[in-house]
Amino acid sequence: MEASKVKEIISEIKTKMDKAGGLKHVYFIACGGSKAAIFPGLYLLQSEAKTFGATTYTSNEFVHATPKELDERCIAVICSLKATPETVEAVKTANAAGAVTISMTGSSKTGMAEVGQYVVVYSNGDNQIYSDSNQSNSLRIGFEILKQFENYENYNAAMKAYDYIDQIIAEAKEKVLLEAQKWAKKNKDCPIFYVLASGSNYGVAYSMTFCHFMEMQWKHAICIHTGEYFHGPFETTTKELPMILLMSEGRTRALDERCRTFLEKYAENFIVIDPRELGINKIDSSVVEFFNPVIMIPIERHYVAQMAEIRNHSMDERRYMWKVEY
């Protein structure tokens, strides 16, 4: 969606919030891949907001265990590509509580678009524009909220970053292709994968494990925060276990560096995907850490896509999803 449209939406919401007594909380609600997509906006607000809080819920829990705080002073940013039933119900739940709802969705004709008070349509599909993806738009919503409610000082640097996203990803995909193919060939028959990350990249680890390994390749996978790796999971580390370390650029990189140091000593079958080596530093240092997932989700998927091709297992193939009652 055009930046001006998001700006207009948040401007209208601010007028409503000012009349209601001011913004007190922003909820980010989704499930599956969409939950990973809204994580950038959540992480941004949890990190930078000074006068209001931000929380995430999985859609069905939000419906069944709705927070009592939810009212007209809350914004609910709710995401689903098409119209996952429990996510549509989450929009209705937020509406009923008096909250202002923003439906992020893949088309203006989805069930999500029908029930949201405001609608942000994002680019998706084979010809996706990454600077207009669901991740990019959740982040844009976050930056716009910060700007209009708190006059965020790094807003201009953040908006400039969108000019670099598509170029960075295109060049990064080309750069890692041979490495990704080599990795995929080596690990195509492995039954389980560990994916480690921190900060804004934790949603990327979630995406890689839940969506790309488990849903799309039927491989067991677990996402582990690098800050939690040394509190149990590292005891399962072996030289054979395939592990992917997603480095962050920004304040939590020290957590990832500690993990990499350990892996270099005690593991062998691991790879490191580092946005610092993929051009992310074209983005201003004041906001770069918040763009980690926007760059990294397309790249980690690029790795898994090479495995899908080698295994002849389409990323679109499903065993249960959309086929049986659940």
> Which amino acid is present at 127?
N
- Which long-range contacts (C-beta less than 8 Å, at least 24 apart) are formed by 85-88? 86/31, 86/59, 86/60, 87/29, 87/30, 87/31, 87/34, 87/59, 87/112, 88/112, 88/115
Residue 267 has pLDDT above 90, yes or no: yes
Residue 30 has pLDDT above 90, yes or no: yes
Q: What is the pTM of this model?
A: 0.96
pLDDT of amino acid 31: 97
At 76, is the pLDDT very low, low, confident or very high (cuts 50, 70, 90)?
very high
Q: What is the mean pLDDT of residues 221-229?
A: 98
Q: What is the mean pLDDT of residues 312-323?
A: 94
What tens digit of pLDDT does each residue of 185-218 get? 999 999 999 999 999 999 999 999 999 999 999 9
Residue 256 has pLDDT above 80, yes or no: yes
pLDDT of amino acid 164: 98
Domains of the chain: 3-152 (3.40.50.10490), 165-311 (3.40.50.10490)
Residue by residue, DSSP assigns 121-157 as: E---STT--GGGSHHHHHHHHHHHHHHHHH--TTHHH
pLDDT of amino acid 322: 86
At 167, is the pLDDT very low, low, confident or very high (cuts 50, 70, 90)?
very high
Q: What is the mean pLDDT of residues 91-120?
A: 97
pLDDT of amino acid 210: 97
